Amino acid sequence: GRIIHLTDYRPTDFVLERVDLTFELDPTETKCTSRMLFHRREGAAVDAPLVLDGDELKMTGLLFDGMPMEPGRFTEDNDTLTIRELPETAAFEITVDTVINPEANTQLMGLYRTNGIYCTQCEAEGFRRITYFYDRPDVLCVYTVNIIADKESCPLLLSNGNFLGGAGYGEGKHFAAWFDPHPKPSYLFALVAGDLGVVEDTFTTMSGREVALKIYVEHGKEPRAAYAMDALKRSMKWDEEVFSREYDLDIFMVVAVSDFNMGAMENKGLNVFNDKYVLADPETATDADYANIEAIIAHEYFHNWTGNRITCRDWFQLCLKEGLTVYRDHEFSADQRSRAVKRVAEVRHLKSEQFPEDAGPLAHPVRPTKYREINNFYTTTVYEKGAEVTRMIATILGRDLFKKGMDLYFERHDGDAATIEDFVKCFEDASGRDLGQFSLWYHQAGTPLVTVSSAFDQAKGTFTLALEQMVPPTPGQSAKEPMHIPLRFGLLLPDGSEATPASIDGVEVTGDVLHLTKRKQVATVTGLDARPVVTLNRDFSAPINLHFERTPADLAHIARHDRDLFARWQALNDLALPNLVEASRNARAGTAIAVNSLLSDTLIEIAADETLEPAFRAQILALPSEADIARELGSNNDPDAIRAGREAVLAFLASEGKALFATLFERHDGKGSFTPDAASAGRRALRNAALPFLAIADGQPARAAQAFADSDNMTDLSAALGVLAHRFPEAEETQAALETFRARFAENALVLDKWFAIQATIPGEGALGRVQQLMQSPHFNAANPNRVRALVGTFAFSNPTGFNRLDGEGYRFLASQILQIDPKNPQLAARILTSMRSWRSLEGVRAEHALNALRRIAAGEKLSADVADIVERMLN
Ligand code: HT7
Ligand code: ZN
């Protein structure tokens, strides 16, 4: 494929005023008629042709102002339809007829069928698989959609906007018409037709308009959509209260489908969801599932303003809608739950997903400048780092000026296809602050490293903090400029209270934010009686790596006393990580492993602290993962040694804290009526964080088996099954529990995905054989993306020792899977392949095997652009 550059952007030669679409649905021969009204853009060349996008289309008719187009006036090639000799100024109508085979569409882009339901996915470039069109985000127009289909199999006919009307249509058929008054780009188009159940409610907006809310799910699953509906209403209310955003149609619909490439899609007024992010009840969904549903329902709803009303000029601006909308859904969840616990979870996710991306061959700026396949840029960098960049604007400006900037953005750009520059300008204009240097966060890839040292002069009462920043080189960017890094900080005194210094010089400080802007800076703090302990990057105010040599005693002090709960978690993490790294080195060298007693004491003390919320204490007990340790080690990694070192530390903690873990496990017994709220979820989380330690201390599966038998909700049940499977894979109890679970949930695809994922993450050499065996199971379905992700994806992403086998079999297995998935669903194949993005940080033998596997993929015949792009970047 061709490389697309940001600098090549130019507007279309023609303006599309409106489009009328008519679909006659059929499983294998759907007819689509598109009538488009165009006029030549002012300033466009008088002989410029109209060039429309297409992908694998079969065109059966082409009209110009209602008359068949003469063959000499148009050309069709692989991906374009070009029409010449068009009017200089007058408006004209082009009608295109196409025939589509939804049944054969395994890519799940464009119009496809899933469980008998017709459904579309148009972002980023799926609309061109339906008809020839200006399939780009800066072409906005109003849509009328007519849908004709078999009445019996498709009682439900949905599209964007407001319902105009419907009627019978010949024998056994009917039709429905929809009109969306809000101009939109083609990627927000949606059509759904089929036979589904519905959950209905209403929402009265801030100006008193009543909006009909409908969530469509498979018949019989309606009760499982209640939580999603509740989350939707809370999202609508929150967006009014916090961002002053009101919904703008008479109806808002959500449809859940079981075959979907991503989480969900924000089509105007008609969101389409992976059913995993809609369906929940206590028996089948975990607390994590509930939290995800809440976040994703909110995310897609929030797109109505950040994405739909204000959209992107081109796909390079993807973070304009995604980074901002993730920031908004993070804030929503923080308000609905515990802010600190939510922040810990966000940072854990950022560090485990985005930091490795930014440190490897797939690193790219939040706003890239070139791409080969846009589907590969729906990345954690665009989404999660993009959200962190938005958060930093809020941190630098403060709450009120941030709100003023957002208000200005909505006012100034409503109805626009905007850019990141437009967005940043709103905050500059609202605050008067220059964000020029700050904007480097959008343009420079790589996680900045901030190195800090400190000194205290008792005689003078001054404290100095020397800060140095470095942004590592990334593909295509070798030299970097210093960034504007906002660091929330505090100075803790020996009694845990906070010092108020007389002055701070050398670095700009606003409130509790220190603005690092140069490569090297020294902050001098005066007026201190005692040496303070510096707490830095509170709330993870900047997405950086921080190297700050601090004693375990100082870290324990922060972990015990900081008023920022997040900083307390971070300090304990910073105390644990070097210990785990050291343990891994010892395990590799065959030398003795020791655990710092300050680590075990502080960890046990905080986990026992009843004044702290259980969810936070559960986060404290979840030590840095094997992947976290690998990242800290950086290179020449041996996943087996990392695991062995971490296991030794866990064993020590399990024995030291056994009494506490037993208390936590028993006290927070999950029995009783289940509610999915954050406080109840926190109690379950703490209990389930204690269980693995107990299993280690017990050395046998009885307690976990009992927990499995006693569980009355999916959170506890799957946690107990996970402990059994991961700690005692060969035990009879485990085999029995796996079979009980399978038999009980054999008809529930989403729960079976958990069964597959738990087994895919059983550590050690035997994992691959188990995964291969599971692929032979009658429950495995290679055509369902959720199932493939649950088994193959989870194995490659989340089983370091199983996947990174020394003999390279894990990589060879993945290569053959990628080559098999790619012809059917390139997006899915490309995404799973990114599990190998850190292959260069493996030790030599494994790295060599990984390289060979990647080469095998690269040599594959007829690779999709998606996979070719990823594999080539990983090899470069
Ligand atoms: N905006 C949505 C992105 C999306 C998508 C992209 C490529 C291929 C399939 C897709 N499904 C959904 C999701 C979101 O961020 O809200
Ligand atoms: Zn989004």
Task: Examine residue 3 and state whether it is found in any structural domain, yes or no.
Answer: yes
522 and 384 in a single domain? The answer is: no
316 and 453 in a single domain? The answer is: no
d(CA 584, CA 591): 10
Ligand nearest to the CA of 325: 2
Average the pLDDT over 32-57 and give the result. Answer: 98
Task: Examine residue 731 and state whether it is found in any structural domain, yes or no.
Answer: no
787 versus 669: the higher-pLDDT residue is 787
6 and 132 in a single domain? The answer is: yes
Task: Examine residue 647 and state whether it is found in any structural domain, yes or no.
Answer: no
pLDDT single digits (tens) 582-641: 999 999 999 999 999 999 999 999 999 999 999 999 999 999 999 999 999 999 999 999
Ligand nearest to the CA of 326: 2
Q: Is the CB of 300 under 6 A from ligand 1?
A: yes
Residue with CA closest to ligand 1 atom 3: 265
Residue with CA closest to ligand 1 atom 1: 265
Q: Is the CB of 322 under 6 A from ligand 1?
A: yes
Domain of residue 400: give its range: 311-443
Cα of 503 vs centre of ligand 2, distance in Å, is 43
pLDDT single digits (tens) 646-689: 999 999 999 999 999 999 999 877 677 899 999 999 999 999 99
Query: By three-state DSSP, how is residue 406 classified?
Result: helix
Number of domains in the chain: 4
Cα of 455 vs centre of ligand 2, distance in Å, is 45
Task: Examine residue 35 and state whether it is found in any structural domain, yes or no.
Answer: yes
340 and 487 in a single domain? The answer is: no
pLDDT value for 670: 62
Cα of 216 vs centre of ligand 1, distance in Å, is 19
The band of 758, judged by pLDDT with boundaries at 50, 70 and 90, is very high
* Domain termination site, one of 519, 549, 579: 549
The question of ipTM being above 0.95 is answered as yes
Residue with CA closest to ligand 1 atom 2: 265
What does pLDDT average to over the chain?
A: 98
Q: Give the residue numbers annotated as catalytic, written as ranges.
A: 300
Full DSSP string of 464-530 = EEEEEEE---BTTB-S-----EEEEEEEE-TTS-B---SEEESSEEETTEEEE-SSEEEEEEE--SS
* Domain termination site, one of 195, 220, 239: 195
492 and 439 in a single domain? The answer is: no
Preceding omega of 124 cis (within 30 degrees of 0) = yes
Q: Which residue type, as a one-letter code, is found at position 516? A: L
Task: Examine residue 817 and state whether it is found in any structural domain, yes or no.
Answer: yes
Q: Across-strand partners of 12?
A: none
Task: Examine residue 518 and state whether it is found in any structural domain, yes or no.
Answer: yes
439 and 541 in a single domain? The answer is: no
* Domain termination site, one of 527, 549, 571: 549
53 and 177 in a single domain? The answer is: yes
Could you tell me what percent of the chain has a pLDDT over 90?
99
pLDDT single digits (tens) 479-505: 999 999 999 999 999 999 999 999 999
pLDDT value for 529: 93
Question: What CA–CA distances, in Å, run from 495 to 237, 531, 539, 562, 809?
Answer: 43, 11, 22, 11, 55
Residue with CA closest to ligand 1 atom 11: 262
Q: Is the CB of 266 under 6 A from ligand 1?
A: yes
405 and 473 in a single domain? The answer is: no
183 and 329 in a single domain? The answer is: no
Q: State which ligand 1 atom lies nearest to the alpha carbon of 322.
A: 15
433 and 528 in a single domain? The answer is: no
Cα of 802 vs centre of ligand 2, distance in Å, is 32
Ligand nearest to the CA of 109: 1
Full DSSP string of 786-807 = HHHIIIIIHHHHH-HHHHT-TT
Cα of 380 vs centre of ligand 2, distance in Å, is 11
Average the pLDDT over 206-215 and give the result. Answer: 98
To test the pocket of ligand 1, the residue of 378, 380, 383 to mutate (highest count of ligand atoms within 8 Å of its CB) is 378
Query: By three-state DSSP, how is residue 269 classified?
Result: coil
Q: State which ligand 1 atom lies nearest to the alpha carbon of 266.
A: 16
Q: What is the CATH number of the domain that holds 831?
A: 1.25.50.10
Average the pLDDT over 571-583 and give the result. Answer: 98
Q: Is the CB of 121 under 6 A from ligand 1?
A: yes
Q: What is the CATH number of the domain that holds 425?
A: 1.10.390.10
Q: State which ligand 1 atom lies nearest to the alpha carbon of 299.
A: 16
pLDDT value for 668: 73
pLDDT value at 33 more than 80: yes
d(CA 831, CA 190): 24
Q: Is the CB of 107 under 6 A from ligand 1?
A: no
Task: Examine residue 621 and state whether it is found in any structural domain, yes or no.
Answer: no
**φ, ψ at 106 (rounded to 5°):** -90, -10
pLDDT single digits (tens) 499-537: 999 999 999 999 999 999 999 999 999 999 999 999 999
336 and 426 in a single domain? The answer is: yes
pLDDT value at 182 more than 90: yes
Cα of 260 vs centre of ligand 1, distance in Å, is 10
